[in-house]
């Protein structure tokens, strides 16, 4: 697929990633503990009804220079153990706030590097959840893992403690790329690791890759993605490198390399796209691929795909997200609550029996509608004005007014071949997938007078 240079230039502008709506840089500090607690209590009556927990484990052994995550580089075992104890107290805090009739449908361990924790600590935390909460029938218990820290024994014990999804951060198979970004490679070859995990039962495996890193070329990335396919994962995420050196200082270290430009990045993604689709994987949203029988592919077909900060999910597994640990963001129907990033402030708040919230956003009714529109586009490549209008009991004209919908902008996307607009529905084309963030932004009233800084769209 050849994307014209003019479109690349036109649309490679700062654009939200829309992992939340409004995006996290709209969150603010105007809150009170009472208001936050009230939002949590109110969430017991809101939809979705299920509980989804996100656990942030910030620790990593060494900093990858491309990293955009919230990390704390430390080998201090006392500090790590202390963090786990605080996390357990936070679990108890939530036990008291959440309706005991609600069930956990999802637990997502993210980081940092959750598998940098001693395995006993993971087991202890999982045991707390099983002791204090009810679970839905097939809960999704996922962990983001750095393969360099995985051993066969660690994998066995993760699975025994209830983990049934593993995401392995491969990023690239080429050693020169990994060295340039200061990242250790897996000790156990990835295909062997995947085979071993699969032999343990019904464990879903995702592999993460990043494109736009030093030394990556379409040829080298072609090799990397072929190798990924031969490992036979259920899903793959092919992330565009988000270069935000004003937020992540270590990324400046990559600027001494000739980093791939927008056109080269599209060529890298295009390579991955072809290899994966030819191997039978279905493209999901912006950057994910799944086997056709995977529940994400089935949900996409049924236009029932959802998304939260943790990635894509289905109607069955999605829940309101309650985030535990530093920097985690709770994603409730009515509010976003972001935890402090500071380990000491976090501990102090939990010890005092308070939520460690640093920033919030209370979502109003109109923003909920915009959020649903953007989610529909980003997840299902599709938007039906009549469906959304009916759901929110408003007219199509009222919906368009809320979105500050401009017919000319949509028509322009259509002329450029990025979407099909007919009978009050919008369908994003294959070419349009590259510009999904730009299309979504055109439905976002906040982008009309945007003053915020975002990473570039491509
Ligand atoms: C928390 S990490 C996964 C677990 C573990 N820390 C690791 O690195 O393997 C989440 C994923 O985010 C992606 N990532 C990190 N920094 C990124 C960036 N600046 N741009 C795009 N993707 C990024 C990587 O693919 C990484 O696997
Ligand atoms: S990419 Fe993963 S391992 Fe590397 S610094 Fe970021 S969170 Fe840690």
> What tokens were used for 439?
């299309």
Residue 455 pLDDT: 66
Q: What is the mean pLDDT of residues 165-183?
A: 97
CATH 1.10.10.920 in the chain: give the residue spans.
Answer: 365-448
Assess whether pLDDT exceeds 90 at residue 413.
yes
Q: How many CA atoms lie within 13 A of 203 on its CB side?
A: 25
- Per-residue pLDDT band for 2 (boundaries 50, 70, 90) equals low
Q: Is 71 in the pocket of ligand 2 (CB under 6 A)?
A: yes
Query: How many whole angstroms separate alpha carbon 180 and alpha carbon 429?
Result: 36
Assess whether pLDDT exceeds 70 at residue 237.
yes
Q: Indicate which residue's Cα is closest to atom 6 of ligand 2.
A: 67
The tens digit of pLDDT for each residue in 309-338 reads 778 887 666 779 999 999 999 999 999 999
Residue 146 CA, closest ligand 1 atom number = 9
Mean pLDDT of the chain: 93
- Which residues, at least 6 apart from 141, have a Cβ–Cβ distance to it below 8 Å? 106, 107, 126, 162, 163, 164, 165
Residue 8 pLDDT: 79
Q: Are strands 235-240 and 204-211 parallel, antiparallel or unpaired?
A: parallel
- Per-residue pLDDT band for 5 (boundaries 50, 70, 90) equals confident
Cα distances (angstroms) measured from residue 31 to each of 178, 350, 355, 362: 42, 18, 12, 9
> What tokens were used for 174?
């080429």
DSSP, res 58: -
Q: Which of 19, 69, 326 to mutate to test the pocket of ligand 1 (most atoms within 8 A of CB)?
A: 69
Cα distances (angstroms) measured from residue 197 to each of 48, 110, 204: 31, 19, 9
Residue 399 pLDDT: 96
Q: What is the mean pLDDT of residues 163-169?
A: 96
Assess whether pLDDT exceeds 90 at residue 433.
no
Q: What is the mean pLDDT of residues 68-94?
A: 96
Contact 106, 95 (CB under 8 A): no
CATH 3.80.30.20 in the chain: give the residue spans.
Answer: 23-324
Please name the CATH architecture into which domain 23-324 falls: Alpha-Beta Horseshoe (3.80)
Please name the CATH architecture into which domain 365-448 falls: Orthogonal Bundle (1.10)
Query: How many whole angstroms separate alpha carbon 111 and alpha carbon 147?
Result: 14
Q: Which of 60, 72, 144 to mutate to test the pocket of ligand 2 (most atoms within 8 A of CB)?
A: 60
144 C-alpha vs ligand 2 centroid, how far in Å?
A: 10
Q: Is 241 in the pocket of ligand 1 (CB under 6 A)?
A: yes
The tens digit of pLDDT for each residue in 137-153 reads 989 999 999 999 999 99
- Per-residue pLDDT band for 457 (boundaries 50, 70, 90) equals low
Q: Is 250 in the pocket of ligand 2 (CB under 6 A)?
A: no
Residue 25 pLDDT: 86
Query: How many whole angstroms separate alpha carbon 190 and alpha carbon 230?
Result: 10
Q: What is the mean pLDDT of residues 422-429?
A: 93
Q: Is 233 in the pocket of ligand 2 (CB under 6 A)?
A: no
Residue 96 pLDDT: 94
Assess whether pLDDT exceeds 80 at residue 453.
no
Query: How many whole angstroms separate alpha carbon 162 and alpha carbon 313?
Result: 19
Q: What is the mean pLDDT of residues 293-302?
A: 89
pTM for the model stands at: 0.92
């Amino acid at each position: 697929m050849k994307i014209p240079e003019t479109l690349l230039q036109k649309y490679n502008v700062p654009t939200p990633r829309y992992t939340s709506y409004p995006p996290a840089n709209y969150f603010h500090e105007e809150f009170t503990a009472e208001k936050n607690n009230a939002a949590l209590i109110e969430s017991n009556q809101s939809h979705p009804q299920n509980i989804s927990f996100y656990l942030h484990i910030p620790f990593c052994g060494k900093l990858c220079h491309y990293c955009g995550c919230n990390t704390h580089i430390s080998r201090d075992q006392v500090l790590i153990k202390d963090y786990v104890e605080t996390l357990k107290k936070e679990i108890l805090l939530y036990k008291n706030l959440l309706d005991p009739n609600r069930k956990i449908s999802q637990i997502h361990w993210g980081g940092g590097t959750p598998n940098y924790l001693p395995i006993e600590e993971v087991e202890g935390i999982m045991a707390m959840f099983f002791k204090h909460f009810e679970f839905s029938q097939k809960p999704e218990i996922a962990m983001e893992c750095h393969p360099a820290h995985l051993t066969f024994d660690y994998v066995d014990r993760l699975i025994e403690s209830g983990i049934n999804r593993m995401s392995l951060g491969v990023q690239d198979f080429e050693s020169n790329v990994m060295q340039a970004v200061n990242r250790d490679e897996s000790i156990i070859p990835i295909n062997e690791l995947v085979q071993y995990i699969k032999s343990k039962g019904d464990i879903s495996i995702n592999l993460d890759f990043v494109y736009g890193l030093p030394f990556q070329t379409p040829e080298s990335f072609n090799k990397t993605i072929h190798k990924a396919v031969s490992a036979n994962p259920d899903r793959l995420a092919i992330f565009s490198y988000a270069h935000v050196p004003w937020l992540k200082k270590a990324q400046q270290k990559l600027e001494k390399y000739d980093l791939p430009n927008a056109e080269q990045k599209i060529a890298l993604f295009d390579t991955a796209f072809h290899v994966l689709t030819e191997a039978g994987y279905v493209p999901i949203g912006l950057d994910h691929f799944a086997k056709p029988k995977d529940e994400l592919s089935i949900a996409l077909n049924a236009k029932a795909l959802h998304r939260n900060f943790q990635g894509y999910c289905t109607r069955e597994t999605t829940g309101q997200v309650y985030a535990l640990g530093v920097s985690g963001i709770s994603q409730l129907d009515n509010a976003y609550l972001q935890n402090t990033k500071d380990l000491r402030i976090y501990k102090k708040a939990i010890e005092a029996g308070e939520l460690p919230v640093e920033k919030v956003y209370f979502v109003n009714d109109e923003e909920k509608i915009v959020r649903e529109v953007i989610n529909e586009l980003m997840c299902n490549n599709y938007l039906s004005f009549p469906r959304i209008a009916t759901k929110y009991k408003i007219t199509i004209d009222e919906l368009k007014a809320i979105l500050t919908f401009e017919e000319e902008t949509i028509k322009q996307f259509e002329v450029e071949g990025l979407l099909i607009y007919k009978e009050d529905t919008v369908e994003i084309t294959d070419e349009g997938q590259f510009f999904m963030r730009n299309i979504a932004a055109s439905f976002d009233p906040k982008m009309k007078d945007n003053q915020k800084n975002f990473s570039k769209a491509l």
